[in-house]
Structure 1
Amino acid sequence: MKQRIRKAVLPVAGLGTRFLPATKAMPKEMLTVVDRPVVQHVVDEARAAGIEHFIFVTGRNKAVIEDHFDISYELQHTLRERGKIKEYEALMRDLPNAGSTSFTRQQEPLGLGHAIWCAREWIGNEPFAVLLPDMLSKDSMTQMLEAYDKHGGNIIAVEEVAPDHTSQYGVVAVGAEHGKTFEITGMVEKPAPGTAPSNYIISGRYILQPEILDILSRQEKGAGGEIQLTDAMKKLCEQQEFYGMIYDGITYDTGSKLGYLLANIAYGLEREDIGPDLRKDLQALLNKK
């Protein structure tokens, strides 16, 4: 019988060097897409899918993330006193349930695999989700859990890119197809141009079985001198089933300047309060060029 996915790991220890100087004193995960921090959007996605417990793997100078997901007595009191009930209620809706968030520290920048391993005590012996906070999508985790309910095993969200872009990503090899999912027969991190096994890239959402933690505990450093999650998944792929789920939607890489700007525009256009005016202003701006 498959265990239900209750927990999600969010690795938020990165330095955000691509956004300096904005991230000199503020975590990149707290940069806003419209009026919500990037990390809040990712938590929203996971909560909507039914995830109950959020494990944040943080680093130095990331305390503001923990504060964001906590009660702010002074702010809440001020909002009530000033009659800003709508704003107060919005804050309370975003507040996680007591005991549903955990924070652990990745003390050295040793890679994504190491960050996941740092969460081992909170994960325990059950399957779990991983959501990379740089990658913003609407309902990828909901689609992931539907695929997990059907297949079990390990699930990786994938997206198709142009063949000449595969060297920038982790890429999977495609086996037997099952509609929107397929069996993964192998994977490689940032393959040399022309050597990728497919043009399906790993897009920042995973469901993994707990055995990955034992592999990570013995995993040697790989590309970039870091403990790579992809390397550990390749070993687990020899023991357990892995499936790729083709995400039906658009993912915005907010870790890049272009992806971050596109996310703000796309999410802004969807808003009823600002979308129509934003569309008109963008069109007027483009007409001036």
Structure 2
Amino acid sequence: MKLAKKVRTAVFPVAGLGTRFLPATKAMPKEMLPVVDKPLIQYAVDEARQAGIEHFVFVTGRNKGVIEDHFDKQVELEITLHQRNKHDMLKMLDEGLPRPGQTSFTRQQEPLGLGHAVWCARDIVGNEPFALLLPDMLMRAEPGVLSQMMQSYNQNGGNVIAVEEIDPEEVSSYGIVGRGDGPDEGFDITQMVEKPAKEDAPSNLIISGRYILQPEIFELISTQAKGAGGEIQITDAMVALMNSQKFTGVKYKGQSFDCGSKIGFLTANVAFALDRPDIAEGFQRELLALDIAELKGPIKDA
């Protein structure tokens, strides 16, 4: 059996304007919005690093320079922390940084869709398989979702997509896959449909913002027409790639939060705060003290 080529590179599309979070995102990228005390983009990078990724490619836009700064050393801060004997903080900051030479940044000059953002990374990725992580989708899983996908990729090769179940009534809002043979950890994907009507959906399994893709996707993106919303859609290119390559679905163990929405973002903050041993007890106590009857019930039951 031919071994799958190692996935060393991850692409992070971070060029979006984040208009749903204005005015907070007027001067700050939405990917830098914090969940508890860590920005969204850091969670995605940490997930990729856990999965063995060695090269982190950020597809940025205007006013996104702070993302590049975040993944760089801040000498003045480190000197101050050292002088104040804040060694735990220094260690934490160091552990969050990719090593020198592991990051690349490229621009998406126009907002032409996710497919176009991925295509903008083509020359950096080269002729190699790569992971694609959408930072808006924050994953709560151990091991991380991309690590779970890597296990399937190492067995099956080809292309891998993370999926999760949703209420069948909501399928018209998502990209949906058809499920073929195989276990939850790696089953054949038989089709992909973007935002189908309930009666036309092949399943209730949605594409969840984590992908492992082969480099042939770049050529397909470069020649495809604009799709839904007048944008170049990654799903359209994947459907075309299915004609010649295998696609595997991984129904991952974990929970996702759509932090592109205000409700998803706020829910993620609550969930991740309650996961933190250093603040969970105090945070839950403050939540229960709020004079909101609807909130008190579910928190007490948790």
TM more than 0.5: yes
Q: Hey, what does 2:275 align to over in structure 1?
A: 270
Alignment of structure 1 residues 1-80 onto 2, 5 Å: 1-80=3-82
CA distance in 1, matches of 2:263, 2:291: 17
Moved over 2 A (4+): 177-181, 283-289
Given candidates 88, 91, 102, the residue that maps to 2:104 is 102
Q: 1:272, CA displacement in angstroms?
A: 1.0
**1:163 and 2:168 are equivalent in the alignment:** yes
3-state SS, counterpart of residue 24 of structure 2: coil
Q: Hey, what does 1:279 align to over in structure 2?
A: 284
3-state SS, counterpart of residue 71 of structure 1: coil
Q: Tell me how many residue pairs correspond in the alignment.
A: 289
CA distance in 2, matches of 1:162, 1:82: 51
Q: Hey, what does 2:219 align to over in structure 1?
A: 214
AA matched with 1:200: L
Q: Hey, what does 2:147 align to over in structure 1?
A: 142
Q: 1:134, CA displacement in angstroms?
A: 0.2
Change (3 A) 1:150 1:277: same
Q: 1:287, CA displacement in angstroms?
A: 6.1
Structure 2, unpaired ranges of 5+: 295-302
AA matched with 2:257: Y
Q: Percent identity?
A: 60
Q: 1:288, CA displacement in angstroms?
A: 5.1
Q: Hey, what does 2:298 align to over in structure 1?
A: none
Given candidates 245, 248, 266, the residue that maps to 2:250 is 245
CA distance in 1, matches of 2:293, 2:205: 38
Given candidates 197, 203, 212, the residue that maps to 2:202 is 197
Q: Which moved more, 1:179-188 or 1:42-51?
A: 179-188
1:173-213 deviation per Cα after TM superposition (whole angstroms, max 9, x unaligned)? 11122343211111011113432111100000000011101
CA distance in 2, matches of 1:151, 1:5: 13
AA matched with 1:284: A
Q: 1:282, CA displacement in angstroms?
A: 1.7
Q: Which moved more, 1:149-158 or 1:88-97?
A: 88-97
TM-score by length of 2: 0.93
Q: Which moved more, 1:158-167 or 1:192-201?
A: 192-201
AA matched with 1:11: P
Q: Hey, what does 1:85 align to over in structure 2?
A: 87
3-state SS, counterpart of residue 61 of structure 1: coil
AA matched with 2:287: L
TM-score by length of 1: 0.97
1:6-57 deviation per Cα after TM superposition (whole angstroms, max 9, x unaligned)? 1000000011111111111100000000000000011111111111110000
Q: Hey, what does 2:228 align to over in structure 1?
A: 223
CA distance in 2, matches of 1:184, 1:287: 44
1:148-167 deviation per Cα after TM superposition (whole angstroms, max 9, x unaligned)? 01111100000000111111
